[in-house]
Amino acid sequence: MEIDKLLENLAVISQNLKTPSLTNQIDEDPNFGIKIREFETLVEKVKLQHGDFSAFDQDLRELLNELYLSIQEIDTYCDLNLQKLNFLENLRPLT
């Protein structure tokens, strides 16, 4: 498994989650902040297991599944917030 590549991609996701617009969302919605912190904790666990060659494949598989579910929750949250802005597509300038 290409854990190094996975960790690189997770680092990019982590950086994107620290953008000012998402930081503002975290301030407004504590539940979203919890989801972000859970994601960051899972990333740290992957890093730790990557260095531990005695870790069982099943443990890593479960951890990766948790990480996948965490990313899905964050994605769903972001999609819901984008849907709130759908009304903007109907706005037209006054002429």
38-92 pLDDT, tens digit each: 999 999 998 888 766 555 677 888 999 999 999 999 998 888 777 777 777 777 7
Residue 17 resides in a domain: no
Residue 70 resides in a domain: yes
Q: Which pTM was predicted?
A: 0.75
Residue 57 resides in a domain: yes
Which residue has 């969302």 as its token pair? 25
Domain total in the chain:
1
**DSSP string for 28-80:** H-HHHHHHHHHHHHHHHHHHHHHH-TTS-HHHHHHHHHHHHHHHHHHHHHHHH
Query: What CA–CA distance (Å, rounded) separates 71 from 65?
Result: 10
Q: Quote the domain boundaries for residue 45.
A: 32-76
Residue 2 resides in a domain: no
Residue 90 resides in a domain: no
